[in-house]
Chains A and B, each alone.
Chain A
Amino acid sequence: MKHSIRTAFAAATVLISGLASSMAVADDMKSIAISTIVEVPALTETRDGILDALKTRGYVEGENLRVDYQNANGNMPTQQQIAKKFVGDAPDVIVPITTPTAQAMVAATSEIPIVFATVTDPIKAQLVAQYEKPGANVTGVSDAAPIGQQLDLFKELVPELKTIGFIYNPGLDNALSALEVIRREGEARGIEVVESPSPTTNEVIPAARKLVGKVDAIYVPNDTTVVAALEAIVKVGRDTGTPIFAGETGAIERGAAASLGLDYVAVGRVAGNMVADILEGANPGDIDAVLAYDVQENFKLLVNLGSAKAMGITIPQAVLDRATTIIE
């Protein structure tokens, strides 16, 4: 018994001394706190872009900028503690990457400026009320899929593209949002969207087959239920010569013919510039939140030559020249 109390005291002493000696912030240094829920390439690229933009604007980590970067490793309670830590440390700007991280930060403080990055739908996540002059302490950049630019690419590959099929899970909010966007963007380009709902992964193949012959191409949005059966959709496309296009770039190596994606470093740069503006005195509520695809010019373009051929697509040289990744 005495032994365990002794050990407990020892542990407590280490804890306390450790905490006491940590983190004294120099007054002349600016400080930002970045956090992400997990680390995957898109998110670390975002972070790199943020720091890169700040450097360009004259804020260099270690010299005149303190950066506290925390990865929650997929663990929500840890993310919660990170949020508390950030607010307690009172940095000049908090930069959450991904939606759950941003939600935790916004719930934790309504005073410290927050610039979110790589959040798909900040309005649905209730981070901002509207994109233009959000008004509170939150702004940032959304990585919503560049559906308009994607449709433009698809038209380049299939010049007679007039109707496009859309397979989706009607029970998923983000699929419904994507449907709204593609209808809007399609209308602006004279493309009609034909829906084919598939509530579970098992109904994806019939949903795909239903579209064959009725549409010039099929679009697979970033919908986990449908993407799970991507290979099956690709097979339908190859068997019937129907082009299969995807909303997310990871689908190309799995067989979809082409896609257009965001350059996540560039997404990060947009956020980084917002952070620099705030460090220089701007009010986050006055900075418009943006959709990355609205402010980006260079996108990642991926094509799968083998699939394209089987689906009856001839890829113009201009597209091949611009392609960032070509899969045989």
Chain B
Amino acid sequence: MSLYELLGTLETGFVFGIVALGAYLTFKILDFPDLTVEGSFPLGAAIAATLIVGFDINPWIATLAGGLAGFAAGFTTAYLNVRFNILHILSGILLAISLYSINLRIMSGPNKPLLGVDTVFDSFVIDGVPSYIINPIVLGVIALAFKLGIDWLLSTGLGISMRAAGANPAMAEANGVNTGNMKLFGVGLANFLTAIAGALFAQLFGAADAYMGIGVIIVGLASVIVGMSILPSGTIFLATIACLVGAVLYRLAVAFALNADFIGLQASDVQLVTAVLVALALIVQQSSFGKGRKGKKG
């Protein structure tokens, strides 16, 4: 693998690290399996692309706007669940399906090219340093910033309420936590992150595409699972690191599959490789410890 490809893997890894943080929030913290991300990832991309290309909006603002749209999508999913008691998985699927059509409308087509326009990465052009070195660093910093933000949030009064709402909703309610509101905010926030990741990815990829969301949930979950099985994750601070690392490892596995003609693997075998990787991680998690996981020292 060339250095170029390795750095490219880091780029994609950090973008999906942000997605993994969102999956961590919903699946692990809130205990709310959220499938909205299949729709909110391309939603962020679609909004950002349309604003940048069609309305000449600053790419940072466009990316943020994409994120806010993602928040609205996640909020809606949680609202369907909290207010109307629709099963969380179903709510997420409903949103993802609707967002497909909505994204087509936003982009007036299945694809919106982002070539030759300003992207957020253009803010970091340094003479003499190629972008393929700068971009992973920029994305790494952004991913780290979001990670630290989540760490901080989960240590606040609001964050503890969210954690309790996911871990023991009855006890949380008895302690004054409005678990419904926690879901609305938490699922919204997770999809804010995912949409931002989508917007960033589109600017890397060169286009926003309505099919971009396919498989995002698997990647997010696999990243969280792999990361948290292999790395110590007893505290929130460690767990979020594990999510980012898991995402990068996942992308490395894909790169491995792409370069592995020596054992006959092709890109179409990526699904198998990632499934094997996730299975390995789960087996490792099972065999090392049963219940003692939570009190682990680093």
Contact = CB atoms under 8 A, between A and B. Distances in A.
Contacts of A173: 108-109
B261 A22 contact: yes
A84 B5 contact: yes
Given A76-B209, A125-B111, A174-B109, A81 B261 contact: no
Q: Interface residues of B toward A: which range?
A: 35 or more
B219 A77 contact: yes
B18 to A, nearest CB: 13
A99 B111 contact: yes
A113 B224 CA distance: 38
Chain A CB count within 10 A is highest, among B9, B263, B267, for B267
Contact of A85 (B207, B212, B219, B255): B255
Contact of B262 (A22, A103, A124): A22
Contacts, number: 165
A228 B104 CA distance: 15
Contacts of A72: 267
Nearest to B258: A85
Interface in A57-98: 70-85, 87-90
B278 to A, nearest CB: 12
Interface of B: 1-9, 11-12, 15-16, 104-105, 108-111, 113-116, 201, 204-207, 209, 211-212, 214-215, 219, 229-230, 232, 251-256, 258-263, 266-268, 270-271, 280, 284-285, 287-289, 296
A198 to B, nearest CB: 15
Given A3-B284, A85-B8, A125-B113, A18 B270 contact: no
B206 A81 contact: no
Interface residues of A, number: 50
A182 to B, nearest CB: 18
B205 A80 contact: yes
A318 interface: no
A160 B119 CA distance: 53
Given A1-B288, A89-B2, 4 more contacts: A1-B232, A18-B259, A75-B215, A81-B12
Nearest to A23: B259
A172 interface: yes
* In the complex, the 9 A-B pairs of residues with the closest C-beta atoms, listed nearest first: A84-B8, A107-B206, A88-B2, A88-B4, A88-B5, A173-B109, A126-B113, A103-B206, A103-B207
Contacts of A73: 267-268, 270-271
